[in-house]
Structure formats: structure tokens, C-alpha cells
Amino acid sequence: MTALVRDPVPLRAGGPPPTAGAASLALRPLLDPPRRPARVIAAFPSALYLEMRGEREPRVLAVVTSDATRLPNAMVIVAARREQPFRLIREGGEAWVGDGRVEAGPLCVRVRRWWDPSPALGALRPAALTRGVHALETALGAAGMTGGGLAGHPDPALLAESCAAGDLAGAVEAAERIVGLGPGLTPSGDDILSGLLVSLRLVGGAVRPGESAVWLADWLGAAVTADAGTRTTALAATLLHCAASGGAGAEVAAVLSGVAGHEPVAPAVRRLLAVGHTSGADLAWGVLAGCRAALALTTSTPHRATA
């Protein structure tokens, strides 16, 4: 991850020394301003999720251990899961975010470095992208990827087909039907959309000509994030906003880097599919759909319908 050194933040008076953290640049709007209250909305052995009330996105910040899934809205601490850094923090508890740090119960994390959640893919020619998409398809098939949490539902396939055809109206209709669809902190429909949006934006921005894919990402992202805060979980809404602006989790970023030819695809695919119960498969499905659409749109001039 790209690291940038930050000026030190004063320690809490009378408290223990803060834990060092590396924060996503997407979190600067939360971490740079003065200290404000937050609420713990979920606590797990490897991750803590804090929600800022009445804030613009990103509203949810994830504090994760060094061996956890690194989301695009994450602040990574030096402790590993086995050290149980969040064991004394409970869901519903109070927290504080700002002045370059996060405080929840006895935990205090200070930003020491920043990392960029938008991986640089470089410049891609259509022929290179064709090879990358084929490598991704092969790796997913070898890994035995299933349909994820929405297997058998017609709308993910309709969404993929509409994106590949450059049909914004069709894509928006299918996407709006799966926002918030599925159980958990990040429903399957939102994971699919996150993988699709970030792939359209980043791969479309790397391949030439990729303007149609980026255009599609702009409008589709605006459509699914417009009322995400009322249609899905707080965490999923934040992740949709991150994806719409090109923010990828570490596992998704590695797969996209593989598609661009910078690293082997198969190991990255296996790491992504291991994420969560169905989240990895759902994200992978969306990434594949986004990469296929970006490739299709480089060789065609789609009709830009309005939603």
C-alpha cells in the first residue's frame, strides 16, 4: 500500500500510548477534522465498525487488524487478530473520531501513515485487457467460483449484459433492484455492485479508449448511491460510495492488478474468494462483469441512454 508520513498527533492526557494505524485516504474527511462522536455498530475479533451520525459519506469507518480483510474505508492497526485488540469493545458503545485518531473504549489509534484505496493500473491496450479478462475467467473457473449470494437471481446477469452493451437505463433498472438485497452487513447485491463499479472506473480509466466505461461508472454510481443510506446497511452504503469513486479493498485491488498484468491472477482470486461467507464470490462476480463490460465498450460505441 502507498504510505505517506503524517505529522504526529498529541497523546491523550493520562492515557496509554496510542496504537499506530495506516488509514485509507478515503477517511481523511473523517480523521482530519476536530474530534467528533461516533457509535460502534459492529465489533468482531478482526474488525471494528464505527458510524458517524449526520455525516456525508464516508459515514462508516473500519478499524481492522493487520491480518484482516482491508476494506477501502479501513484504518489498519499493527496488532493481529490473535492479540484480540477489540475484545473490550461492545456493539452500541461510544467512540470518537477526529484530530487524526480513533478512540473506542480503551482503544486509541493514531494515524501514522495513509494508503491509497485506488490502485494504479497504468495504461492498458485492448489486447492486454483481453488477456487479463481471459486470465480472470480461467482463475475463477479453476477456483470453483459459485454464483454467490444471488445465484439464480436474474438481475445480476441483466446488469452485466446492460453494462457490456452500454445501456445505462437497463443497468440502472437492474442495479436498483439488487441494492440492499441479501443478508449481513454487506448484502450480496451491494457487493456485486461494488465490484462492478470499481472495475468499470479503474479498468475503464486504464484502457484506451475507455471513456464509455468511465461514463457508465459515473452515472450508474450516482444512481445506486443516491438513496443507498435508506436502502441498505450503513457499511454497505459507504462501500458503494467508495467503489463509485474508485476505492477498492486490498483483495479486489490485487485482482484488478492481476487483470492489468502486474501480478499473477490466480493467487489474488483465491484470496478474494476467501473473503466472508459470500462477499468474496459476490465481489468477484461484480469485478468480472465490470472488466468484461470495460473490454466490450472499448470496441463498440454504445447508445448512451438516460435513466
63 has a pLDDT exceeding 70: yes
Q: Which pLDDT value is given to residue 187? A: 97
Task: Return the pLDDT at 134.
Answer: 98
Whole-structure pTM value: 0.91
Residue 37 above 80 pLDDT?
A: yes
Half-sphere exposure of 157 (CA within 13 A, CB side): 6
Residue 5 confidence (pLDDT): 42
**How many C-beta atoms lie closer than 10 Å to residue 46's C-beta?**
18
Predicted confidence band at 259 (pLDDT cuts at 50, 70, 90)? Answer: very high
The answer to whether 75 touches 23, Cβ cutoff 8 Å, is: yes
Distance CA 7, CA 162 (A): 47
Q: Is the pLDDT of residue 6 over 70?
A: no
Q: What is the pLDDT of residue 15?
A: 56
Q: Is the preceding peptide bond at 58 cis, omega within 30 degrees of 0?
A: yes
What are 147's three cell numbers? 454464483
Other Cβ atoms closer than 10 A to 91: 12
Is pLDDT above 90 for 289?
A: yes
pLDDT at 184: 85
Q: Give yes or no for residue 2 having a pLDDT over 90.
A: no
Q: What is the pLDDT of residue 26?
A: 97
Domain residue spans of the chain: 4-115, 126-298
CB atoms within 10 A of CB 214: 18
CA gap 59, 271 in Å, rounded: 27
Grid cell digits, residue 27: 477517511
What b/e string do you get for 226-250 counting C-beta neighbours within 10 Å, with b at 16 or more? eebbebbbbbbbbbbbbbbbbbbbb
Average pLDDT over every residue of 158-165: 98
pLDDT in tens, 186-238: 999 999 999 999 999 999 999 999 899 999 999 999 999 999 999 999 999 99
**Pairing assessment for the beta strands 19-24 and 74-77 based on DSSP bridges:** antiparallel
